[in-house]
Structure 1
């Protein structure tokens, strides 16, 4: 294997993909902006805090007073009875509690901040990130790349390759890098969503944003297209025209802004702007039931992508309810999984009959597509078995671990498949980064000829493990013997 970090070595990418809540300290003292400075400074000293917040009547931060402010603005200048508002910094730069740690690091560095309040969904402070403790989790070589992640959406999307390259050079496993890229992609979806909401009238009802496909699995590479949808709060039929008019304009704006940020539109139309992917929970339930009954064409294609869904923004409860309903649908209609397996049998691995690497490149080239003919058969087979066993996890490695825990897979087979997944992911990611560095569109075609003999042997073994697993998995649903 190419990566050098041991399983016990803490991965900087793994830390960055985690949320900010694990790194934050308790919230500091808070006061109304008219509170006397003498009172706020006394509370600051008593709490041994390095900052206090000024909050509005609803408890939302509107200013911050730090130790630096005390030295710069208060000492020998402002009397104790002066209001907090006279010395505080406003507005307050903050992040939300569902933000990735990468975002907090980027904000701290870009703003030269020592403190970053963390806000809950109601906009109130639920914790504080301190610069020294937060940056301690990040390697020095990575920090320069993280600076770009404080920019606008397009800059953040472009910076992903630099961050991944830096971490790969430090020996971070590809799975952690892809987890980081996926986490950044989901947070970009949330940022775009927030801006679109601010640009439109208030929504007529609540909704949950779903991401599907590779985003739903947390396995996005450098240039994923969009696979998203909305679960709408239920509403009376008489309100349809009003509700649909708002969501039609909103979803169109959302998908177009995602495209501008670097997420291509889905060629198959699997996006919230398509009414098929914008439904109430009862309508989604009926849609899944319809696919289970139909089991042909688009129904199977949509099932492969949609069944990896997870909530990316909004209340996660509707997505959890839909996941539970999917389990009931599949339990009552096992023929759907059999039909999906029959369709997935076309996913072959990139080996020839004689054990060489397949030529998947159009024209004179002989490169092999290790995503389509390596990762995808493994992803599809793990998905089918997890859905059959009622496993809620959507990530491929999480599914393999759950299948092993249930005894569906042996510990040895799960370990071999995990190693195969890691190697194939590493191979594809390195190719995409090389393409990006060369000014090309990131792709999945890999030239195996220059690779050392040992690496080519590892890739063959990985593909053989995937072939054995995928054939066995698909055959267990279709009854076809290979």
Structure 2
């Protein structure tokens, strides 16, 4: 047995996070490991199976991780030797959300959670590896290879997983007593205040905790009389955490330390001021604000006020996620899904009020909503497309949908999405029409851009929020069938993309506003983000890449389509994320659109980071000029 354990330990020692452990610890873990053989196409666990008591490492062969997408099983990841999977028991108590199936005859090591948990407690590198890997959804912090395959399904499949990165709400006025307090008095105080714990303190530093469990197991059983001091029954030392602890961290700390409460202190240590206490109940309550629950709330909403309440919770979720450095791509898509759900429910409420539609239709969110890039409560943009109807019915059908759109846009305005100042909304009769009329509209934009028929390029960024998918597909087919024939269209879009004011002066200083309420502030939307957004749209249309609306994803796809220009595209993708985060943080801080950045409030490091993110704009400009042969600008 010891020889086998040694071979297992030697194998694991090649891969993080096991190589962070002392070899004798790794050997001890290896002695508890079970070796499991899986035949080809056999499963180790399936979706909705009860959680196992172990997580797994592939020793040989290949294990596929599968999820259900659109009623079909889809491959999420392939796990090769050294890859870790099946981590859900560490982070959640609900059943598995994916299937682990052997692609070929495979051997895996089953590592018991209870045997491994103590090493999380004493090795911060191992703990951080698990938390960071879970947070970034299968990304290895080492960046050398994908070693850890999280059971956290991608944002499309399980928005509820974002709950693990929320900052917790907890009791910020905990009961505190001295070590000399009498148990009877302490119990009475807990009863009077309807609390299940009391912190035992010395100089406002936590030295112990007494919970309902202590009173039941140590006093009610007769082990200690109610007349002795609380220091006789307190649990000590107290597990302490900082004020911005996430649900993931709190949950993992409760599990690995086998406790029911955490003490929040100013700096997270037991030698600093007490700020609150977190109980298991707080974790349960936190579930009510996770994305999965928010979407369920949206579906049950009966009034605009209900939807407004959910949108407020989404803002809190976005802010907490950005503070915890959750990847912005993940946050964008979670936010996008919830926003689309709000729009969808707004349409459903309008239909409930007006009665069944007289024709099939599609409600398309356009602009930042259509790109799933709307983290802030900026204005709403939308169009409505209804199926072609007989000429004599057209007017009545259009009137119905205009009334519907007015109700929907009114609801969204109440939720917090201001009307588009340019009138780009389905409630505008110009942007509510039949499939044939919309196809003519798009063809007109592409044939005669700028010829008294001003094009709004955001109309080429859309996502269906409600209605018939085939109607959206008809619009897409019409655009991509016609677009490559239109040289003048690309000239117009190219010149429009390059016409944006530059972000930096010749001497690499930020161009700031010279007058008005935003004087001396940097317009990050117009000078930095819009050139990247416009450039990505232009390039995917030019490459006939359909179905990808998000700016970051557009650049990633372009890098795959054009390997020789991949570096420029990838630089633009990362710049877009960096700039978007600057804008989101500014907007959340001041509760506005975040368009204008106060450079004076940025640290020197952040100013340099912002400036470095602007560098790809010049590369993008040169690429667009070369690709579309643009030499003069109108």
TM-score w.r.t. length of structure 1:
0.68
> Which residue pairs with 2:458 in the alignment?
305
* Contact 2:588-2:594 within 8 A present in 1 as well: no
Match of 2:421 among 247, 262, 267: 267
Q: Kindly tell me: are residues 463 and 308 of structure 1, through their superposed partners in 2, closer, same or farther at Cα, counting changes over 3 Å?
A: same
Alpha-carbon distance in structure 2 between the residues aligned to 1:332 and 1:298: 21
Shift of 1:305: 0.9
> Which residue pairs with 2:575 in the alignment?
420
Shift of 1:414: 2.5
Q: Which runs of 5+ in 2 are unaligned?
A: 1-127, 138-151, 162-281, 298-304
Q: Does 1:18 align with 2:156?
A: yes
Shift of 1:278: 1.5
Alpha-carbon distance in structure 1 between the residues aligned to 2:429 and 2:285: 45
Alpha-carbon distance in structure 2 between the residues aligned to 1:375 and 1:408: 24
Shift of 1:17: 4.2
Match of 1:435 among 590, 601, 623: 590
* Contact 2:624-2:630 within 8 A present in 1 as well: no
* Contact 1:369-1:445 within 8 A present in 2 as well: yes
Alpha-carbon distance in structure 2 between the residues aligned to 1:7 and 1:398: 22
Match of 1:407 among 534, 554, 562: 562
Alpha-carbon distance in structure 2 between the residues aligned to 1:362 and 1:142: 45
Q: Does 1:247 align with 2:401?
A: yes
Shift of 1:309: 1.5
Q: Which has the larger radius of gyration?
A: 2
Q: Residue deviations 1:190-235, cap 9 Å, x none?
A: 1111110100121111111111111111111312211111121111
Shift of 1:353: 1.6
Shift of 1:428: 0.7
Q: Kindly tell me: are residues 141 and 17 of structure 1, through their superposed partners in 2, closer, same or farther at Cα, counting changes over 3 Å?
A: farther
> Which residue pairs with 1:372 in the alignment?
526
> Which residue pairs with 2:349 in the alignment?
195
Alpha-carbon distance in structure 2 between the residues aligned to 1:199 and 1:292: 38
Matched position secondary structure for 2:600: coil
Alpha-carbon distance in structure 1 between the residues aligned to 2:160 and 2:587: 32
Alpha-carbon distance in structure 2 between the residues aligned to 1:21 and 1:462: 29
> Which residue pairs with 2:149 in the alignment?
none
Shift of 1:324: 1.8
Q: Does 1:466 align with 2:604?
A: no
- Larger helix proportion, structure 1 or 2? 1
Matches within 5 A, 1:470-481: 470-474=621-625, 476-477=627-628, 479-480=630-631
Q: Does 1:339 align with 2:492?
A: yes
- Larger strand proportion, structure 1 or 2? 2
Q: Kindly tell me: are residues 296 and 193 of structure 1, through their superposed partners in 2, closer, same or farther at Cα, counting changes over 3 Å?
A: same
* Contact 1:352-1:358 within 8 A present in 2 as well: yes
Alpha-carbon distance in structure 2 between the residues aligned to 1:144 and 1:470: 46
> Which residue pairs with 1:50 in the alignment?
none
Matched position secondary structure for 1:204: coil
Match of 1:208 among 359, 362, 365: 362
Q: Residue deviations 1:91-118, cap 9 Å, x none?
A: xxxxxxxxxxxxxxxxxxxxxxxxxxxx
Bigger Cα displacement from structure 2, 371-380 vs 444-453: 444-453
Shift of 1:19: 4.2
Q: Kindly tell me: are residues 22 and 462 of structure 1, through their superposed partners in 2, closer, same or farther at Cα, counting changes over 3 Å?
A: closer
The structure whose RCO (Cα within 8 Å, separation 6+) is larger is 1
Q: Kindly tell me: are residues 189 and 7 of structure 1, through their superposed partners in 2, closer, same or farther at Cα, counting changes over 3 Å?
A: same
Q: Kindly tell me: are residues 361 and 426 of structure 1, through their superposed partners in 2, closer, same or farther at Cα, counting changes over 3 Å?
A: farther
Matched position secondary structure for 1:339: helix
Bigger Cα displacement from structure 2, 185-194 vs 459-468: 459-468
Matched position secondary structure for 1:230: strand
Alpha-carbon distance in structure 1 between the residues aligned to 2:342 and 2:515: 34
> Which residue pairs with 2:483 in the alignment?
330
* Contact 1:381-1:474 within 8 A present in 2 as well: no
Matches within 5 A, 1:142-157: 143=287, 145-146=289-290, 149=294, 150=297, 152-157=306-311
> Which residue pairs with 1:159 in the alignment?
313
Q: Which runs of 5+ in 1 are unaligned?
A: 24-137
Match of 2:443 among 283, 289, 310: 289
Matched position secondary structure for 1:152: helix
